[in-house]
Structure 1
Amino acid sequence: MSGEAAARRRWRRVDGVLLLDKPAGMTSNAALQAARRLFQAAKAGHTGTLDPLATGLLPLCFGEATKFSADLFDADKTYEAELRFGQRTDTGDAEGQVIEERSVTFAADDLEHVLACFRGPITQVPPMYSALKRDGRPLYELARQGIEVERAPRAVVIHELELLAVDLAGGHPSCRLRAKVSKGTYIRTLAEDIGEALGCGAHLTALRRTEIAGLAVAAATTLAELGALEDAARLARLAPPDALLQSLPALELSAAAAARFVQGGAVRAAAQPGRCRVYADGRLLGLGVGQPDGIVQPKRLMAGTT
């Protein structure tokens, strides 16, 4: 679209969450901007990136939902991953150059034994090809210049690690895994570490995110599907802003307490300590934080609730 045409675009307020099934080969930001144009949304954001190689669930936030996008950063995520054994690449995935080849001699039982060692709390060294920053520069920029810097190991949790399929007989030994992991887990690094534990090396050849905090890719929509819809039908694909908060307990306030809460005042309510989603008459007011003494402090408020 030309600059003149872009200037003529009429942006509008759109509030809601789109569960997008991101295609391979597209950055998360490119997917966000494409969806934003389709909705003509004045304000948009995502809840954490997927690598261009990866497909699957990418929740996108519009309008008021952007206030809660950070709440998915800390959520557990589930992936299906394909690994190729016997080759290491400089990026840890199929987008990189092969830097080492080794023979594959392990059996399926050996793979099951190694996977058991990665379940539960583990440590990972973040990859150089990542968005982590050193002195203000993303590590991937340094990696592209052939510079490698020391990275501190991170504690992560592999809640579930299931072998879905394995093929060790063909010319390209491989397997497919399902992994439910904590925040900060790099599946590329997990693939590499599994390969090292098996003595042959490995890299990621495909990755699909299937779930985040109860949101599932089965309910997601592709950009092609969105583009084929009329505006009303497209807007109907949006979930409400509190779709991002379903893992939190809900708190319903009285009219008097709600009036105080939306003005930024703390209220006394029957809430457990910790974050909660706060409603009045079924309408989302915002995010609150319960204190041990029964007081709930407003944390983020929806616009138009005052």
Structure 2
Amino acid sequence: MQGFLNLNKPFDWTSHDCVARVRKLLRLKRVGHAGTLDPAATGVLPIAFGKATRLLQYLPGNKAYKATIRLGVRTTTDDLQGEIITSAPCPGLSLAEVKSVLPQFEGKIEQIPPSYSAIQVDGKRLYDLARRGEKVEVPVRTVEVFQIEILDWREGEYPELEIAIACGAGTYIRAIARDLGAILETGGTLAALIRTESSGFHLSDSITLADLEAQLQAGTFQPTAPDTALQYLPSVTLPATAAQKWCQGQRVPVTIDISGLVRVYDEESRFLGIGQSQAGVLIPQMVFEPVSS
């Protein structure tokens, strides 16, 4: 069995926990995931199994979230799972004030990832260093936020802002919550997070671990085809002789006006893998399904 699973990750499970459970349910060793989700986050976690794990690196990086930000609170982890650093009610904070600063978080922005994150510094995970009480300088990174839409505003001593965020890979929503609170001078932390889209997979099409187990027992589980997850890439169809050479690792000439990564097929519409098209030549990048001689 090979392909992708659009998993709706449960609360309080790590992405690794989900992979381990899927590996056990499918009775497969080769299982991996795209786009790590924090344990407190739920939603889309793309999982690949079989030879499709080799395609994870080619999935699109764009993501979308529904986030709830609680203002007036700062925590060690920038979400409610951490210890409270400061807590100061701000009932006078208005939605108008929030709206006036939100545009600062759209476009290409510089962001310092949370101290408790999977990013490595000198070969060590930040969350491991943080748990040991070691303070390190977290490198600033440039990320891109395409759009922020306000969904709800709940007044109170600790107002909550619910937003939809579309962003590029590597964006930390916890950091946006923290930095929004800093700009407003109230403090802010992430209260809830649902990933609604990741690597071309959508929450509306996702299934839970319980759904997966039930479908496997009923014999109705249908994985997403390996190339379906790569539809954002243009495609190239090779004649039989060229397809065979390409699958053997050879460069083959093509007459297409495309530069960059492409999906490669043979004349029988079989997905062969990922190629790099440049200057009229198709270069093998990853041969998924070799052609028999």
Normalising by the smaller structure, the TM-score range is over 0.9
Per the alignment, residue 277 of structure 1 pairs with: 263
Equivalents in 1 of 2:134, 2:248: separation in Å?
A: 51
Equivalents in 2 of 1:242, 1:156: separation in Å?
A: 27
2:72 pairs, out of 82, 86, 97, with 86
2:52 pairs, out of 41, 65, 83, with 65
- Please, what TM-score do these two structures have when normalized by structure 2? 0.94
- Please, what TM-score do these two structures have when normalized by structure 1? 0.90
1:167-199: per-residue Cα shift (whole Å, max 9, x none)? 12x343101111111111111001101111111
- SS of residue matched to 2:186: coil
The amino acid of 1:277's aligned partner reads R
Per the alignment, residue 232 of structure 2 pairs with: 247
Equivalents in 1 of 2:52, 2:188: separation in Å?
A: 39
Equivalents in 2 of 1:233, 1:113: separation in Å?
A: 53
Per the alignment, residue 167 of structure 2 pairs with: 181
Equivalents in 1 of 2:6, 2:205: separation in Å?
A: 7
Per the alignment, residue 3 of structure 1 pairs with: none
1:139 aligns with 2:123: no
Equivalents in 2 of 1:243, 1:48: separation in Å?
A: 18
1:117 aligns with 2:104: yes
1:92-116: per-residue Cα shift (whole Å, max 9, x none)? 0010011112232321111111111
Equivalents in 2 of 1:276, 1:303: separation in Å?
A: 15
- SS of residue matched to 2:215: coil
Equivalents in 2 of 1:202, 1:175: separation in Å?
A: 10
What percent identity do the matched residue pairs reach? 38
- SS of residue matched to 1:96: coil
Equivalents in 2 of 1:229, 1:218: separation in Å?
A: 17
Equivalents in 2 of 1:235, 1:15: separation in Å?
A: 12
Per the alignment, residue 103 of structure 1 pairs with: 89
- Give yes or no for contact 2:35–2:198 (8 Å, CA) kept in 1: no
Structure 1 unaligned residues grouped into runs of 5+: 1-13
Per the alignment, residue 150 of structure 1 pairs with: 137
Per the alignment, residue 17 of structure 1 pairs with: 4
2:276 pairs, out of 266, 272, 289, with 289
Structure 1 residue 265: Cα displacement: 0.9
Structure 1 residue 23: Cα displacement: 0.4
Per the alignment, residue 305 of structure 1 pairs with: 291
- Give yes or no for contact 2:89–2:157 (8 Å, CA) kept in 1: no
Structure 2 unaligned residues grouped into runs of 5+: none
- Give yes or no for contact 1:251–1:278 (8 Å, CA) kept in 2: yes
- Give yes or no for contact 1:39–1:234 (8 Å, CA) kept in 2: no
Equivalents in 2 of 1:207, 1:241: separation in Å?
A: 28
Per the alignment, residue 36 of structure 1 pairs with: 23
1:193 pairs, out of 179, 200, 203, with 179
- Give yes or no for contact 1:69–1:244 (8 Å, CA) kept in 2: no
The amino acid of 1:139's aligned partner reads L
Give the 3 Å change call, closer, same or farther, for CA 37–254 of structure 1 in structure 2.
Answer: same
1:47 aligns with 2:34: yes
Q: Give matches, 1:159-238, under 5 Å.
A: 159-168=146-155, 170-231=156-217, 233-236=219-222, 238=223
- Give yes or no for contact 2:22–2:31 (8 Å, CA) kept in 1: no
The amino acid of 2:121's aligned partner reads R
Deviates more, 1:133-142 or 1:174-183: 133-142
Equivalents in 2 of 1:139, 1:279: separation in Å?
A: 42
- SS of residue matched to 1:64: helix
Deviates more, 1:252-261 or 1:76-85: 252-261
Per the alignment, residue 116 of structure 2 pairs with: 129
Structure 1 residue 230: Cα displacement: 3.9
